[in-house]
Amino acid sequence: MLDFCISSNQKLDTMKTRIFSALILLSLLTVASCRINSGSNTSTPGMKATGKVGEILVVCEPGIWNSEIKDCLDSTLTQWIMPYLPDVATFTLIHKTPSHFTQGVKRYRNTLFIEIDPSYTGDIGSIVKKEDVWAVDQLVVEIVGKDFSQVLKTCQLGLGEVHDEFDEMSWHRLMNNFSQYKNAHIRDKVKENFKIDLVVPSGSELVTTRNNFYRIEIPAASRPIEFVGTGTQDVGAIFSGIMIYQYDFTDSTQFELENLLKARDTMLRYNVPHEIEGMYMGTQYNELIYPEGNEITTADGKLNGYEMRGMFMFTGLPRHGTGGAFWAFHFINPTTNKLVCVSGYVDAPATASWTHPLREIQAILRSVQIIK
């Protein structure tokens, strides 16, 4: 049993508990009691989670970390958000031993325990998920098996689902944070013009307002920007924002990728000029970074649409322009019969980490709601 977790007499009723039992070719969702049950919790109710967005703390013994289980963790939990270049991983992993964990801060936002427990009697390993254990909006997952082989098998079959849980929590956490800020000066205008609502970070600014096109700038100071490999930060290194545009919906062929890209390029050419006259925001079509997408549902489960990711650059003149990543969500607004696109962009140098600003964009897109 774990000896560094919450005691059974502490208040666990606020935590959402689910157990994933790794089975051949599927994960079985069941219900069971909490295995996190030691008396070392020193958290204060309402304390915020720590750790970087896009980081998972793995707590396990060195023998587990330095084994083929680590290879499984790397291949399953550090997936790429395609088709960005430089590569953007959903998560990076950091490691602590159980003894190290007990002596430090336990409020890491994404925490994964992996344990070999000889007293465990299950025929299959277990994967237990808990929220708000040592901090608000913290997600803790525990993988337990009776021996190395069982733990490895559990990781091989269940880590995909674990990744999805951490992935969803990452944008949900940011969305909840943004929802604390009313930003009425922006949201009221968006509601009036597009008949939709969404959350945006505090300090965001509405910089372009046209009949069918809005652009919102996200303040650079809304998140720390860390330069990869340097340990230094620069809040002005990355610029990001949200564009909202709409046009008449006529038929379902408008949702084909090529048609969405054509409409995007037309909208951006006339609405997002560069500071250099003659240049404007355009899409990059190199085969290595060609835009791709998938169907998604928003956080409230009420709005379905098509999500598209790709790279942009400022074009229009025979000279090199800056660029970055975009992440867009397309849907039909039944109130107006318009095809609406909410598209976020991140304009950043290759030396900066894009994970946090892209997660902010993702959170905003998933927050969209229709106003009837």
Question: Is residue 12 assigned to a domain?
Answer: no
Confidence (pLDDT) at 372: 87
Q: Is 256 found in the same domain as 147?
A: no
Q: What's the pLDDT at 279?
A: 83
Give pLDDT, residue 45.
Answer: 61
Confidence of residue 219 (pLDDT cuts 50, 70, 90): confident
- Per-residue burial over 117-143, b = 16 or more CB atoms within 10 Å of its CB, e = otherwise: beebeeebbbbbbbbbbbbbbbbbbbb
69-123 pLDDT, tens digit per residue, is 999 999 999 999 999 998 999 999 999 999 999 999 999 999 999 999 999 999 9
* Residue 284 structural domain: 184-370
Q: Are residues 205 and 337 in the same domain?
A: yes
Residues 130 and 156 in one domain: yes
Do residues 219 and 116 both lie within one domain?
Answer: no
Decide: 127 and 114 in contact? Cβ < 8 Å. Answer: no
For the stretch 227-243, pLDDT in tens is: 444 455 454 467 899 99
**Domain closes at, from 144, 178, 212:** 178
Domain assignment present for residue 93? The answer is: yes
Closest CA to 111 of 87, 90, 137, 89: 137
Q: Compute the radius of gyration of the chain from its Cα atoms.
A: 22
Domain end point (choices 135, 161, 178): 178
Does 172 share its domain with 203? Answer: no
E strands in the chain: 17-23, 26-30, 55-59, 92-96, 110-116, 126-131, 139-145, 196-197, 205-210, 213-218, 239-248, 280-283, 292-297, 304-315, 323-333, 338-347, 369-370
pLDDT at 139: 97
Both 152 and 210 in one domain: the answer is: no
Number of folded domains that form the chain: 2
Cis peptide before 86 (omega within 30 of 0): yes
CATH number of residue 60's parent domain: 3.30.379
For residue range 172-192, list pLDDT tens digits in order. 999 999 999 999 999 999 999
Please, what is the average pLDDT of the chain?
Answer: 85
Which range, 14-23, 224-233, 319-328, 341-350, has the best average confidence (pLDDT)?
A: 341-350
110 within 8 A of 103, measured Cβ to Cβ: no
Contact 97, 59 (CB under 8 A): yes
Whether 98 and 40 have beta carbons less than 8 Å apart is answered as: no
Confidence tier at 348 by pLDDT (50, 70, 90): confident
Nearest to 348 by CA among 228, 268, 261: 228
Tell me which residue of 154, 137, 225, 198 sits closest to 343, measured CA to CA: 198
Residues 99 and 199 reside in one and the same domain: no
pLDDT number for residue 315: 86
- 75 and 135 part of one domain: yes
Are the beta carbons of 369 and 198 closer than 8 angstroms? yes
